[in-house]
Amino acid sequence: MPTLVDAVIVGAGFAGLRSLHTLRAIGLSAVVLEASDGVGGVWYHNQYPGARCDVESFDYSYRFSPELEQEWRWSERYATQPEILRYINHVADRFDLRRDIRLDTRVASARFNEDSSRWIVTAEDGRVWDAERLILAVGQLSTPKDTSYPGQDSFAGRIISSARWPKDHVDFAGKRVAIIGTGSSGVQMTPVIAAQAAQLTVFQRTANYSIPAANAPVSDEEDAAVKARYAERREAARNSPSGLGFVPDTRAAIDVPEDERNAAYEAAWHRLGFGFALTFKDILLNADSNATASAFIKRKIAEQVDDPAVLATLTPGDFPFGTRRPSVDSGYFQAFNRDNVRLVDISKTPIERFTADGIRTTAEDFAFDIVIYATGFDAFTGSLLKPEIVGRGGQTLREKWAAGPASFLGIGVHGFPNMFVIVGPGSPSLLSNVLLSSEEQIDWLAALFTHARDRGITEIEATETAERDWVAHVNERAEETLYLKTPSYYLGAEMPGKPRVFMPYSGGVRGYRRILERTAASGYEGFALR
Ligand code: N01
């Protein structure tokens, strides 16, 4: 017999836990189904050395409870993965969430029953739930890319994925270690492993921009100052373009005198981390303005790297800063000045295969004890398309999104009534502080569900017209930016064969929220309420 609930929430990361708490608060029963054996989502799996958040801790934390805000004490400006995981577990206990979380429960399928307008959700082990609402809180970077090379099985050493870091302690002392991939994961782990391993070899395919984290312990004074005005800080974040709290200089970078512009970049370099892209309002909109930021960062990289040949390889190519997700690092470039660290440019000498001893490129054989894949994720849609999700008329979400994801507001999908995506494609998602964006959407959905319940509405479905118009709007906003000029995971370029569609909404956190507010004020125009 299926278990009857008002809502099934898929995923026990930040968004899933917040959804559970909020749905309970409006009187709905909900269950969270989580494939792994712990809560935390990406923060549970990505336990690689050096993993930390590149949004400031005070902003990458829940806003729904002023008590929680006051109680929790962040130790560093950018929290490490273990501290974030402790926070999530604290929240699960503090708000008594665990009794409605089913761990080790991978959703195999979700089918919309047109007679009852409810979702039948089946786990891989055969357990079934029957729910009015289906909330997909599965994350945007939660399905690792399945990278492999020929001969991998013959490798005598250990292969580890950064996104599925093993629970046992990995000892790098005296070991020859390889990292494949230089996105945020590779960039974060490089200096940490370099300091422990006998030798570290980093295989880089594409050089990218990285900004220093300017991490620091949070002093008691800073902690008290933030907590005294936390509500104001939250409002500032909600009203900023990316939910990070930074308000850009409203001038075009290119219009600012060079001295003044460089002074602004210099200040941002030492304090803003990821917010560097918001030094001026048009860095991601205007190629000439962007060129000033890109050149500044390249000069900064040059100051950090001793060897000219290594520097040439580490210097980003001819693409605008920020159009591929930049990293925020703690000593990445300097790590290549160490005697035990080597950089291999696999765009020039690609990896051919694994051997029993290590890795063979077109130029050389390397011997390793440990090889780490830090090759990223099937971004945005990977986890959404994993279960068999079947909507109205037997259409699957995979069929519906065969040419790329389409939704209304990034939340509702026509043909899939009562299914709601949290921080999915078509919403600010990975162009924003995703925790803030997920709380924004969950509060909005709670109001929608209350509205529906008060009016006896059982079925909520994005209309075809609203969905078409939203996709067009997402594309129009993207065309105003520089993002479309560079292959990136924002565009589906990280996976061979993936549709090239710009997935996040680039209109900003504040602009998006206003659209949500207008939609609610109109009685949820764009959704058919039955
Ligand atoms: O993955 P990525 P990531 N052979 O996709 C290379 C978030 N995050 O796990 O660009 C060899 O960025 C690939 O090269 P190329 C953050 O949003 C946040 O590092 O395809 N190399 C690239 O260098 C981030 O953006 C934090 O040419 C291959 C790298 O692997 C996102 O997660 C920390 C390859 C993949 O980079 C993903 O980061 C960590 C192959 N077959 C992550 N395939 C925070 O601090 C790919 N590559 C919050």
Token pair belonging to 41 = 């989502």
Cβ(7)–Cβ(30) under 8 Å? yes
From the CA of 162, give the closest atom in ligand 1: 9
Q: What local confidence, expressed as pLDDT, does residue 186 receive?
A: 98
Reported as a single tens digit per residue, the pLDDT across 78-93 is: 999 999 999 999 999 9
Q: In this predicted model, what pLDDT tens digit does every residue of 316-351 receive, in sequence order?
A: 999 999 999 999 999 999 999 999 999 999 999 999
| Ligand 1 contact, 139 CB (< 6 A) | no
Structure confidence by residue, pLDDT tens digits, 135-145: 999 999 999 99
The rounded distance, in Å, linking the Cα atoms of 409 and 404 is: 15
Under the phi-then-psi rule, with left for phi > 0, alpha for psi from -120 to 50, and beta for the rest, what region is 27?
left
Find how far residue 129's CA is from the centre of its chain: 28
- Give residue 352 CA to ligand 1 midpoint distance, Å: 20
Ligand 1 within 6 A of CB of 503:
no
Q: How far is 47 from 167, CA to CA, in rounded Å?
A: 8
Nearest atom, ligand 1, residue 181 CA: 30
Smallest CA separation from ligand 1 atom 10, residue: 206
Give the integer Cα–Cα distance in Å for 99 and 28.
15
Ligand 1 atom at shortest distance from the alpha carbon of 182: 23
Residue 245 has pLDDT above 90, yes or no: no
- Give the pLDDT of residue 274: 83
- Three-state SS at 77: coil
Q: Does the Cβ of 180 fall within 6 Å of ligand 1? A: yes
Is the CB of residue 56 below 6 angstroms from any atom belonging to ligand 1? no
Q: Report CA(374)–ligand 1 centroid distance (Å).
A: 6
CB atoms within 10 A of CB 313: 17
Token duo for residue 228: 């005294």
Asked if the model's pLDDT at residue 214 lies above 90, the reply is: no
3-state secondary structure of 154: helix
Nearest CA to ligand 1 atom 16: 184
**Residue 375 beta carbon below 6 angstroms from any ligand 1 atom:** yes
What's the CA-to-centroid distance between 484 and ligand 1, angstroms? 18
- Residue 470, CA distances (Å) to 226, 230, 279, 446, 507 in order: 37, 33, 29, 21, 12
Tell me, using a 6 A CB cutoff, whether residue 183 lines ligand 1: yes
Distance from Cα 181 to the centre of ligand 1, integer Å: 6
> For ligand 1, is residue 184 a contact (CB within 6 Å)?
yes
Q: How far is the CA of 182 from the centre of ligand 1 (A)?
A: 6
Question: What pLDDT is stored for residue 417 in this prediction?
Answer: 98
Q: What pLDDT is recorded for position 271?
A: 87
Which of 184, 352, 490 to probe ligand 1 with, by most ligand atoms within 8 A of CB? 184
Q: What is the pLDDT of residues 126-136, one digit of tens each?
A: 999 999 999 99
Ligand 1 pocket: which of 375, 489, 494 to mutate (most atoms within 8 A of CB) = 375
426 alpha carbon – ligand 1 mean position (Å): 21
Residue with tokens 């099934």: 8
Q: What is the pLDDT of residues 256-296, one digit of tens each?
A: 999 999 999 999 999 888 889 999 999 999 999 999 999 99
pLDDT, residue 426, reads 98
329 lines ligand 1 (CB under 6 A): no
Ligand 1 in contact with 361 (CB < 6 A)? no
Looking at residue 247, its pLDDT comes to 82
Taking the C-alpha atoms of residue 31 and residue 284, their distance in angstroms, rounded to an integer, is 40
Is the shortest distance between the CB of 186 and ligand 1 below 6 Å?
A: yes
Which pair of structure tokens corresponds to residue 46?
């990505």
Report which ligand 1 atom has the smallest distance to the Cα of 373.
Answer: 30
Name the token pair of 377.
Answer: 């994720």
Q: What is the 185 CA–ligand 1 centroid distance (Å)? A: 6
Q: What is the pLDDT of residue 8?
A: 99
How much is the ipTM here? Answer: 0.97
Q: Is 205 in the pocket of ligand 1 (CB under 6 A)?
A: yes
The alpha carbon of residue 292 and the mean position of all alpha carbons in its chain are separated, in whole angstroms, by 27
Ligand 1 centroid distance, CA of 329 (Å):
14
Mutate to test the pocket of ligand 1, among 149, 162, 205, 436 (most ligand atoms within 8 A of CB): 205
